[in-house]
Amino acid sequence: MLRKGVDMNARARCLMVALLALCCAMSAANAEDGYDLWLRYRPLAPTAQRQLQADITGIVATTQPSPLMQSALAELARGIGGLSGKTPPRTQALRDGSLVIGTAASTPAIAALQLPLKDLGDEGYLLRSVRQQGRRITVVAANSDRGVLYGSFALLAQLQGGGRIDTLDISSAPRVQLRMLNHWDNLDGRVERGYAGASLWDWWRLPDVTDPRYRDYARANASLGINATVVNNVNAVAVILRPDYIAKVKALADVFRPYGIRLFLAVRFSSPLELGGLKSADPLDPAVRAWWRAKADEIYAAIPDFGGFLVKANSEGQPGPADYGRTHADGANTLADALRPHGGVVLWRAFVYSEKDVQDRAMQAYQQLKGLDGKFAENVVLQVKNGPVDFQPREPFHPLFGAMPKTALGMEFQITKEYLGFSTHLAYLGTLYEEVLRADTYSNGAGSTVAHVVDGSLGRPGITAMAGVANTGRDRNWSGSQFDQANWYAFGRLAWNPQAAARDIAADWARLTFGTDARLVEDIVGIMMRSREAVVNYMTPLGLAHLMATGHHYGPGPWVADQSRPEWNPVYYHRADANGIGFDRTATGSNALSQYAAPVAARFADPERTPLEYLLWFHHVSWDHRLSSGRTLWEELAYRYDSGVKSVASMQADWAKLAGRVDTERHAEIAAMLGVQLREARWWRDASLAYWQSVSGRALPPGVAAPAQSLSYYQGLQFPFAPGR
Ligand code: BDP
């Protein structure tokens, strides 16, 4: 009896331990910490699993897959295995439910189908369900293995999103050639304007140790069609071009290559001086030109598919051709000559402004670069920030997009939220990107949108490019917050197709990230779509800009007036006084409007026709001026700050309602961050209103609550350890 009792206890204990282990394993498998991004591949519901197992019974592909094809096959195995619970075997013979992937050249079954692949170019793909000799098969076809890789990711997105594949017929090709991330990562592991932890790249341990995460980074990019990455900061150091660092860079390039990603470097213009021991970095000096050629040869010997250089020159203290009396074109073309024999490209940044120039900062890039139209080599892209100042929550489009018809113009967006509350504030940037891309430059008549400029469809020569300043870091969730992943995702989708709609992209992201329940997706999209406008309203409403505190750019600092350079002071941008507020950029002011095409300039020249969103960007308006909203400017300003805070409160309430419909881990993390955002939105509102009141001398309109603290309280706040500096 006793023995039996002991046995029973032991058995019960074993069972308990086994159950506990099973629970742990299950919760680990279901743990949602965000690491998997939009590539989660969680098991489908049992009926959907059975359906998928029947839909895809095996994978047919070439027997000698290239590295790109191997990546595609590995992803399909992982994705379909995860979703259906069964990894489909590789087979040779076609059967019912075969998934056939490849190009016409590599895969006879695809050649036999004579699919319409002609217009897909080098990177596009076609997904189709077909019947062949009575069998039901699914095809991922392309003209290149890279296209097959992109198509495989697209198929997996369909499956993950709950889409059936029996009537599949989707084709897609990118409209922009270079779809790239720009990492502002320093070699010491810190990320300039990075809010997701340390740099992904462990330069110290490279090239010997390559973190498996590098591969997951490449997978995530490939899933969006991102095909290029600049791994170091635009504020570059010459050391990156030293042989030991080239070896480290090569190790990264080797990981990225099987995912179709070409690696680029940001280079310091004075590297020939600092690294080569030359007396000058004058781009027209033959010794300097020879140095860059030899350096390019050295890099290409290690990395045959190296992409090229990104350069920030003569801006914010960086060296450049102007140091030698040369133009930006002289500088860019010298580097372009060195890269040309290898097929490399120079991305020359248009973010240039000078401490010596007294002109409106918003005008300086156009002023310096417009005259160089047609002077850049054909392997140079001028990389232009979306707005004329600097990644503000809202700016009008950069006037250069409507100028320089003989120059390749690439777009530079910021994915990391330097000016929109870092990673703790929820701000979906798809709407910001969309707003800029859809703006009409009128450069070739009505309909010449920024998107058409960027995708080359207006007939401009040269390479097309879109870059996003990355928001990735070593945080487990990559971007510092769950919702910031959506900004990486949206950037990638818009780089592939600049005409895509921010709302559709948000819905796709939400479906892949949180699940396929249509109501859940709709609720999440609802929060995302109003989030950026909320930030605009509680930080910089009505076309105001650059009101962030000095240095870290986090909290409000509209009162800052003590910086050495005028354009580093918020007061420079808002120009508020007892009479009114705003920067007059019409003919009576800086006349920045003259840099836009006539129809754009005419619209913005008239304060009555200027949308309220841009009013104070272009006009200095009296506090008592009555607006189209029926309110005076002063009332409208107060109203907008209030509405920004209210939007965040409603975002928070809507998120709270999703408890139980989103996994607890991510729900709690996001709820906590929305709490931070609400507190800080109030802070922005209160500090700003306290300051505007001190300038305008006006009482707050009825119904608008007084700031919680005095102006001097807000002015005294210090943040010496804010991240990203
Ligand atoms: C500004 C950032 C600064 C960057 C600069 C740039 O504050 O850290 O170096 O842009 O784009 O917005 O070069």
pLDDT at 565: 87
Nearest-angstrom CA–CA distance, 199 and 193: 11
**Among 186, 418, 567, residue to substitute to test ligand 1 (most atoms within 8 Å of Cβ):** 418
Strands in 417-525 per DSSP E: 465-469
Confidence of residue 162 (pLDDT cuts 50, 70, 90): confident
703 exposure class (CB count in 10 Å sphere: 0-12, 13-18, 19+): exposed
CB 623 within 8 A of CB 614: no
568 CA distance to ligand 1 centroid (A)?
Answer: 12
Nearest-angstrom CA–CA distance, 334 and 344: 12
pLDDT in tens, 197-227: 999 999 999 999 999 999 999 999 999 999 9
Q: How many other CB atoms are there within 10 angstroms of residue 438's CB atom?
A: 16
Nearest-angstrom CA–CA distance, 71 and 661: 33
Radius of gyration of the CA atoms of the chain, in A? 27
Find out whether the beta carbon of 57 lies less than 6 Å from any atom of ligand 1: no
For residue 318, the ligand 1 atom closest to its alpha carbon is 13
Find out whether the beta carbon of 709 lies less than 6 Å from any atom of ligand 1: no
316 CA distance to ligand 1 centroid (A)?
Answer: 8
CB 369 within 8 A of CB 352: yes
**What is the overall mean pLDDT for the chain?**
95
pLDDT at 263 over 50: yes
- Whether the CA torsion 293, 296, 298, 300 is positive or negative: it is negative
pLDDT in tens, 376-392: 999 999 999 999 999 99
Nearest-angstrom CA–CA distance, 572 and 581: 11
Q: How many residues does the chain have?
A: 725
Find out whether the beta carbon of 390 lies less than 6 Å from any atom of ligand 1: yes
pLDDT at 444: 95
* Straight-line distance from the first to the last Cα atom of the chain, in angstroms, rounded to the nearest whole number: 72
- Average pLDDT of the residues in 90-100: 95
Nearest-angstrom CA–CA distance, 644 and 655: 17
pLDDT at 374: 98
Which pTM was predicted? 0.96
31 CA distance to ligand 1 centroid (A)?
Answer: 36
Report residue 331 as tokens. Answer: 């500088």
pLDDT in tens, 172-193: 999 999 999 999 999 999 999 9
For residue 469, the ligand 1 atom closest to its alpha carbon is 11
Report residue 675 as tokens. Answer: 């709490």
Residue located via tokens 């030293």: 242
pLDDT at 11: 54
Which strand (E) or helix (H) includes residue 190?
none
Cα 126 to chain centroid distance, Å, stands at: 26
Cα 36 to chain centroid distance, Å, stands at: 18
Which strand (E) or helix (H) includes residue 135?
strand 135-142
Structural domains in the chain, sorted by start: 46-172 (3.30.379.10), 178-294+306-336+356-514 (3.20.20.80), 537-583+620-715 (3.90.1330.10)
pLDDT at 357 over 90: no
Q: Helix 485-496 vs helix 213-224: angle between axes, to the nearest 10 degrees?
A: 50
pLDDT at 6 over 60: no
> Among residues 32, 390, 484, 686, which one is catalytic?
390
Q: How far is CA 546 from CA 218, 303, 583, 693, in A?
A: 34, 40, 12, 19
Burial letters for 252-276: b for 16+ Cβ neighbours within 10 Å, e otherwise?
Answer: bbbbbbbbbbbbbbbbbbbbbbebb
Q: Atom 10 of ligand 1 has which residue's CA nearest to it?
A: 390
The closest alpha carbon to 376, from 332, 337, 341, belongs to 332
Residue 12: what are its φ and ψ, rounded to 5°? -60, -40
200 φ/ψ sector (left φ>0, alpha ψ -120 to 50, else beta): alpha
Confidence of residue 256 (pLDDT cuts 50, 70, 90): very high
- Whether the CA torsion 431, 491, 420, 425 is positive or negative: it is positive
- Catalytic, 316? Answer yes
Q: How many other CB atoms are there within 10 angstroms of residue 284's CB atom?
A: 15
Confidence of residue 24 (pLDDT cuts 50, 70, 90): very low
656 exposure class (CB count in 10 Å sphere: 0-12, 13-18, 19+): exposed
* H, E, C per residue of 617-679: HHCCEECCCECCCCCEHHHHHHHHHHHHHHHHHHHHHHHHCCECCECHHHHHHHHHHHHHHHH
Confidence of residue 10 (pLDDT cuts 50, 70, 90): low
Confidence of residue 132 (pLDDT cuts 50, 70, 90): confident
Over pLDDT 70: what percentage of the chain?
Answer: 96
Q: Atom 9 of ligand 1 has which residue's CA nearest to it?
A: 235
Report residue 614 as tokens. Answer: 């841009």
**Among 390, 391, 411, 725, residue to substitute to test ligand 1 (most atoms within 8 Å of Cβ):** 390
pLDDT at 569 over 70: yes
Q: How far is CA 485 from CA 28, 39, 96, 475, in A?
A: 21, 12, 38, 12
pLDDT in tens, 390-410: 999 999 999 999 999 999 999
pLDDT at 19: 46
Nearest-angstrom CA–CA distance, 504 and 193: 28
Residue 163: what are its φ and ψ, rounded to 5°? -75, 140
Find out whether the beta carbon of 357 lies less than 6 Å from any atom of ligand 1: no
- Average pLDDT of the residues in 491-516: 98
Find out whether the beta carbon of 235 lies less than 6 Å from any atom of ligand 1: yes
Cα 548 to chain centroid distance, Å, stands at: 21
- Whether the CA torsion 598, 601, 605, 609 is positive or negative: it is positive
Nearest-angstrom CA–CA distance, 526 and 536: 17
Q: How many other CB atoms are there within 10 angstroms of residue 446's CB atom?
A: 9
14 CA distance to ligand 1 centroid (A)?
Answer: 59
> Among residues 36, 55, 75, 418, which one is catalytic?
418
CB 171 within 8 A of CB 133: no
Confidence of residue 161 (pLDDT cuts 50, 70, 90): confident
- Catalytic, 418? Answer yes
pLDDT at 197: 98
- Average pLDDT of the residues in 509-526: 97
- Average pLDDT of the residues in 76-85: 98
CB 406 within 8 A of CB 453: no
pLDDT in tens, 597-654: 999 999 999 999 999 999 999 999 999 999 999 999 999 999 999 999 999 999 999 9
275 CA distance to ligand 1 centroid (A)?
Answer: 24
Confidence of residue 27 (pLDDT cuts 50, 70, 90): very low
355 CA distance to ligand 1 centroid (A)?
Answer: 15
Over pLDDT 90: what percentage of the chain?
Answer: 92
Residue located via tokens 């940037």: 429
Which amino acid, one-letter code, is at 550?
Answer: T
Nearest-angstrom CA–CA distance, 397 and 389: 10
Find out whether the beta carbon of 391 lies less than 6 Å from any atom of ligand 1: yes
- Average pLDDT of the residues in 124-153: 96
Which strand (E) or helix (H) includes residue 487?
helix 485-496
pLDDT at 68: 98
Q: How far is CA 481 from CA 426, 648, 684, in A?
A: 8, 16, 21
